Amino acid sequence: MKHLLTALLALFSICSFAQIKTVTLNSEKLKGKRDVFISLPASYEKNPTKQYPLLVLLDGDYLLNPFIGALTYGSYWDDLPEVIIVGISQNKNDQRTIDCGIDPVTGLPDGKSIDFFDFISLELIPKVQSEFRTTNFKIIAGHDTTASFLNFFLYKDKPLFNAYISLSPELHVNMENTVTDILTSSKLPIFYYLSTSDGDERKMHERIKNFDNGLKAIQNPDLSYKFEDFKDASHYSLVLHSIPSALYQIFAAAQPISIHEYDTKIVTLKEGYVDYLKKKYDIIENSFGLKNPIRINDFKAIEAAILENKDYNELDALAILADKNYPKSMLGDYELAIMFEKKGDNPRAVRYYMSGFNKEEIADLTKDMMFAKAEELKKTFAKKPKIKGKVGQDTSTAAQTEAPTTEAAPTTEEKKQ
């Protein structure tokens, strides 16, 4: 309980700085007005070309702040991307019950809830996408009644959302079987998060666990599924446990290279370290629509794996990637300098340390460090023997004492120059 209170205090401290705008929409589908809450990322105005994933919250009245808190905290540490959040207000006059009404026989939406479904898919999403810079990656989340309703978006031939966060859903007639069948046969990448707790009503708890038994048996490589059954948590406190877990599941591929990823997937490779890094960021772009420069720490992780495995030629490819992502920085020159230094070609290593000295500093790479490395390596250059004798004297014997030199093959980067 103490940890939960600490998390709450931190969460509300973060949320107090969030910019939340309330917009009243005139809806033809709802035949009336509806308030929605819009939270834009901190970088939205500063970066006018950047696009962001979209998170739609049912029960936005009370789910908005917890989601803002988790996303703000995660993005601060670069663990989670910034996201545009749209929360739908449903707290007036028992509106959520009307919005999520179900035919008791078919278990499908009835008249008013069909209108609410159409409001989201035909009015709200298109309006948000037209007015704000969103990627095509969309998430929907809800709690109990709305957590069940969000599953209906999966019933479409082409689901509207890419990720579903279902927090303790009050499942409708045959819903667990229908959703299991849909996710089993889906040919599109889908993220699905499901949670419950021992504080849920007993029958509800057991039904959700049975739902999980069906979902975890699915053998579909396009499905990313996670289930959590929290102990000593109520029907309401499980929300605060679930939100960060769900977000980290969905955006796992977009996170920085961790120690675990390095130890289990990267340093164990026999080759292709730079290709691994390229593929990682291709997945981030293709999955979430996020076109971000490769993180400096991810560059350093790949560099460390290359050095540990002594595959120094890969530093050439890493330098090209560095110049593409940070063209004005010294990072690319640094990688080439390290490569030549490790291969024992100190003159060319000095050349790239000095070339990097004239470019912008980045992360822990500084001009002082580049200059110091160059000066240190200069001390290792072989000195030419002094030629004895007078002017005009035959010095062929002395000349033969000089060590022969060979020109190393140019790197890929040098061929481009």
Q: Identify the domain boundary among 254, 288, 317.
A: 254
- 391 found inside a domain: no
Look up the CATH number of the domain holding residue 343: 1.25.40.10
- 366 found inside a domain: yes
With 60 as the cut, is the pLDDT of residue 384 above it? no
The domain in which residue 39 lies consists of 2-254
Confidence of residue 19 (pLDDT cuts 50, 70, 90): confident
Q: Read off the pLDDT of each residue in 194-209 and give the average, rounded to a whole number.
A: 97
- 228 found inside a domain: yes
- 172 found inside a domain: yes
Q: Identify the domain boundary among 201, 227, 254.
A: 254
With 50 as the cut, is the pLDDT of residue 10 above it? no
This prediction's pTM: 0.85
Give yes or no: residues 147 and 288 share one domain. Answer: no
The more confidently predicted of residues 176 and 403 is 176
- What is the domain count for the chain? 2
Give per-residue pLDDT as tens, 38-90. Answer: 999 999 999 999 999 999 999 999 999 999 999 999 999 999 999 999 999 99
Give yes or no: residues 106 and 247 share one domain. Answer: yes
With 80 as the cut, is the pLDDT of residue 128 above it? yes
Q: Read off the pLDDT of each residue in 302-321 and give the average, rounded to a whole number.
A: 98
Give the 3-state secondary structure of the chain.
CHHHHHHHHHHHHHHCCCCEEEEEEEECCCCEEEEEEEECCCCCCCCCCCCEEEEEECCHHHHHHHHHHHHHHHHHCCCCCCCEEEEECCCHHHHHHHHCCECCCCCCECHHHHHHHHHHHHHHHHHHHHHCCEEEEEEEEEECHHHHHHHHHHCCCCCCCCEEEEECCCCCCCHHHHHHHHHHHCCCCEEEEEEEEEECCHHHHHHHHHHHHHHHCCCCCCEEEEEEEEEEEECCCHHHHHHHHHHHHHCHHHCCCCHHHHHHHHCCCCCCHHHHHHHHHHHHHHHHCCCCCCCHHHHHHHHHHHHHCCCCCHHHHHHHHHHHHCCCECHHHHHHHHHHHHCCCHHHHHHHHHHHHCCECECCECHHHHHHHHHHHHCCCCCCCCCCCCCCCCCHHHHHCCCCCCCCCCCHHHHHC
Q: Read off the pLDDT of each residue in 138-152 and give the average, rounded to a whole number.
A: 98
With 60 as the cut, is the pLDDT of residue 393 above it? no
Confidence of residue 244 (pLDDT cuts 50, 70, 90): very high
- 394 found inside a domain: no
